[in-house]
């Protein structure tokens, strides 16, 4: 089965109010031709309303870079709930990004809770998993991926992955200019699909697994051609409309 590709741009803590408008407008004028790929952008929270207004009549979807694991309202200063994100037109919510895990204490249990909170609000979680360079060199890649994925499977159940996206982001390739080879990416993606297939073969077959780790226009087509790579979670290149559009074109043609 050929799964529809998804290219999602994660702006991280970049951009400005004026820059966000220019970036989105440039993207909108370019992605119209790529109707065989789904495209989303995940700007910082302060720019959600602004970007929502720009994309509301387009096929460019909106996502958040994180979500609070608490649902409803409450005394959680500084947090943003799934219900709030839905009000601003978000379709996706990134959970478990390596930077959240590394710098902000998002352990496996908290990531699982955020996954559940996203789905409870009607959002599609983009669950990030991946190993560090030390873990890969120690031969622990599969063990790390299994631990991170099974924490969510235990909390949410395999059926929840029918309304979710997984993103494999080798931590050693994020923002470093290093990219996993197509063979390395395919191996990790196939292993993740295998873990899901052990629970439900149909959900595993349909699950979109994205690659995130220094995807650029010159390597996107090769990565997206891998059997189990269903698009990309794009960091730095999503801040350049021309580069991001070229990556979308690779997804459209894959």
Judge whether 21 and 54 are in contact, CB under 8 Å. yes
- Which is the catalytic residue, given 97, 99, 131, 189? 97
Closest residue by Cα to residue 214 from 98, 104, 126, 112: 98
Q: Residue 199, exposed/middle/buried by CB under 10 A (0-12, 13-18, 19+)?
A: middle
Closest residue by Cα to residue 224 from 247, 190, 196, 195: 247
List helix spans (H) across 105-216.
Answer: 108-120, 133-137, 141-156, 182-197, 201-206
Count of all residues that appear for the chain in the document:
254
Separate counts of helices (H) and strands (E) for the chain: 11, 8
Instruction: Sort strands 5-10 and 231-234 into parallel, antiparallel or unpaired.
Output: parallel
CB atoms within 10 A of CB 240: 16
CB atoms within 10 A of CB 76: 12
Note if 97 is an active site residue: yes
Note if 169 is an active site residue: yes
- Which is the catalytic residue, given 69, 131, 169, 189? 169
Judge whether 196 and 228 are in contact, CB under 8 Å. no
Closest residue by Cα to residue 144 from 133, 158, 134, 130: 130
Catalytic residue annotation: 97, 169
């Amino acid at each position: 089965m050929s799964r529809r590709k998804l290219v999602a741009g994660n702006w991280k803590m970049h951009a400005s109010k004026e820059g966000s408008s220019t970036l989105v407008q440039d993207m909108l004028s370019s992605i119209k031709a790529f109707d065989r790929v789904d495209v989303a952008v995940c700007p910082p929270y302060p720019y959600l309303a602004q970007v929502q207004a720009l994309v509301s009549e387009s096929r460019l979807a909106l996502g958040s870079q994180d979500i609070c694991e608490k649902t409803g309202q409450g005394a959680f200063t500084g947090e943003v709930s799934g219900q709030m994100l839905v009000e601003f037109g978000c379709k996706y919510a990134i959970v478990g990004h390596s930077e959240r895990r590394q710098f902000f204490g998002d352990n496996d249990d908290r990531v699982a809770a955020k996954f559940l909170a996203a789905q409870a609000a009607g959002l599609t979680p983009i669950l990030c998993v991946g190993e560090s360079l030390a873990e890969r060199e120690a031969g622990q890649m599969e063990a790390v991926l299994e631990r991170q994925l099974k924490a969510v499977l235990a909390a949410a159940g395999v059926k929840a992955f029918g309304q979710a996206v997984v993103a494999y982001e080798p931590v050693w390739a994020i923002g470093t200019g290093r990219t996993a080879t197509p063979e390395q990416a395919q191996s990790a993606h196939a292993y993740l699909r295998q873990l899901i297939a052990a629970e439900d073969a149909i959900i595993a077959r349909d699950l979109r697994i994205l690659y995130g780790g220094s995807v650029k226009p010159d390597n996107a087509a090769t990565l997206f051609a891998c059997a189990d790579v269903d698009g990309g979670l794009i960091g730095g290149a999503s801040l350049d409309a021309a580069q991001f559009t070229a990556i979308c074109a690779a997804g459209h043609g894959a």
